A and B are shown apart, each in its own frame.
Chain A
């Protein structure tokens, strides 16, 4: 029974990071009705930002985190303007292929610029392990968890109470009515997309001290985020948070019981299972992909 505290702590730490990736994805889907297939690539680019800031400027990843948020927002805004804006009223298929195209282009841009080598951010506290009550964990994991949870909570508050958040929710509910109420929906989409990218960018910087970065590094995380987002109900932020913890639990317990080699199969099968049994997710509503258009 000595492993149970460790499993719970690992689940929480992992789930916090997954939540931050998933929240950005589900926010973009919830408001724009677009599944961002390039989400993992933004994560990967953010990890590279942390890596280069560390190795060239000797910035600690947590300093980078603060400094780079405006950068991620700007990158998100620019990518919305350049790529997403023209297809925002197009069919699902056009949007899917646009973000898939963006994903491939970004992934291979990283490959061409920085080669396929796995790179590590080796901070001084990299190997520092904290032990509390039979559970051991890495300092970087704890910081990542705390910041990720704080970030997610901030996003919830932003969506709930800020005027911009209310406008975003209104646009999510009814695109046309919002436009009739004088809401600049184009601007709302730009902000939504940029905020989603900021979330995943923050997650990327937080992951940099824990995981190696390489051009396809985003894929494994974004697959988990897709599982969490669908499980929680696409567009449902609270659902995504809970689902991220569920997926983390499946991964942690699965790794412990059957070994790390097959853990991905577990959550992918969970994913297909959800899609078969309840495609709307645990808390979502049916037909969410066509809502509000």
Chain B
């Protein structure tokens, strides 16, 4: 069980920053940290709390992004509606993947989730009549809150912060409520949990559905914020890995971890892109090399993540103080 004070500080700083900060670059970074942090938190609900490691969460993200973009660009409806529809469709697919998670374990499940995101990638990039194909969809800018055409980045911080807090509360629920304990039991030993009468299957499916819906909501907001949806990006395996990476760096199965992980990952990415982006076209990939190595290093030496590592340190210090 984690203390909520650090999280309150984190979200308060993020929420109050727009009142002080005027710099567009910093505000942009903050929006992205919150969006990727929320996506990682959503991934964490399935991957961290339920133990269902997915490398296909970009499927849900892309669904949300496409739903918002299509509602706005094609049907001239509100992207908020797109967000809701995207979340519902993602939940439906989450049901299927949740069903698969009850039949497949470990690497099999990972492969199935990758296959899902690849199917959506192909549909998104080839079904020209509906999705505009591989060109992607530019999201029209229609000013107003209902149409999510907001130029002011400060407002974006607050909108995304709302979703971030929601994702945090979902995770907190999983840490504090009876269902959360049951889910942890399923994650640690499914057979033992089943023998104690825990509805393991239903809990896993529910966790994956909630995770899918939250991820889709992130995708919808991201599409509106960036203004363009590219199928090769929103459905990519790299994006799925990014969610997982932020959660792993921050701490699997911790509520604040994904946000801290995202703050670190997003900052490093922005810095490296700015540093190497202009020199040669290929050098942009340097931040991904760093991602890959960070992933190998983290799971090997710091599997508990930043939050777990800091927690261990504090506890050890407290013990050292008590002991003579």
A contact set with B: CB distance below 8 Å: 29, 35, 37, 83, 86-87, 90, 92-94, 96-98, 100-109, 111-116, 215, 219, 223, 226, 230, 234, 261-262, 264-265, 268-269, 271-272, 275-276, 279, 289-290
Contact = CB atoms under 8 A, between A and B. Distances in A.
Given A105-B293, A275-B108, 13 more contacts: A37-B110, A96-B107, A97-B295, A101-B291, A104-B289, A105-B296, A108-B292, A111-B284, A116-B282, A230-B111, A234-B108, A269-B119, A272-B119
Contact of A108 (B51, B115, B288, B296): B288
B292 A101 contact: yes
A131 B298 CA distance: 55
A102 B299 CA distance: 12
A116 B281 contact: yes
Contacts of A108: 285-286, 288-289, 292
Contacts of A271: 111-112, 115
A94 B103 contact: no
A112 B286 contact: yes
B114 to A, nearest CB: 8
20 contacts: A29-B107, A87-B300, A92-B107, A94-B299, A94-B303, A98-B296, A100-B241, A101-B299, A104-B288, A104-B291, A104-B292, A105-B292, A107-B292, A112-B283, A268-B122, A271-B112, A272-B100, A275-B100, A275-B108, A289-B107
A109 B288 CA distance: 9
Given A115-B280, A268-B122, A269-B119, A275 B293 contact: no
B118 A35 contact: no
B311 interface: no
B122 A275 contact: no
B118 A261 contact: no
B119 A265 contact: yes
B213 interface: no
B295 A100 contact: yes
Contacts of A234: 107-108
Contacts of A265: 119, 122-123
Contacts of B285: 108-109, 111-112, 215
Interface string B107-151: 110111011101100110010000000000000000000000000
Give the secondary structure class of A's interface. helix
Contacts of B119: 265, 268-269, 272
B286 A35 contact: no
Contacts of B299: 87, 90, 93-94, 97-98, 101
A215 B292 CA distance: 15
Interface of B: 51, 53, 55, 99-100, 103-108, 110-112, 114-116, 118-119, 122-123, 126, 237-238, 241, 244, 248, 280-286, 288-289, 291-296, 298-300, 303
A-B pairs, 3 with minimum CB distance: A105-B292, A101-B295, A104-B292
B296 A83 contact: yes
A97 B47 CA distance: 12
A118 to B, nearest CB: 13
Contacts of A272: 100, 112, 115-116, 119
A107 B282 CA distance: 11
Contacts of B100: 272, 275-276
A18 B301 CA distance: 36
B241 A104 contact: yes
* Best-buried of B99, B108, B291, B293 by chain A (most CB within 10 Å): B108
Nearest to A35: B107
A102 B292 contact: yes
A225 B27 CA distance: 44
Nearest to A230: B111
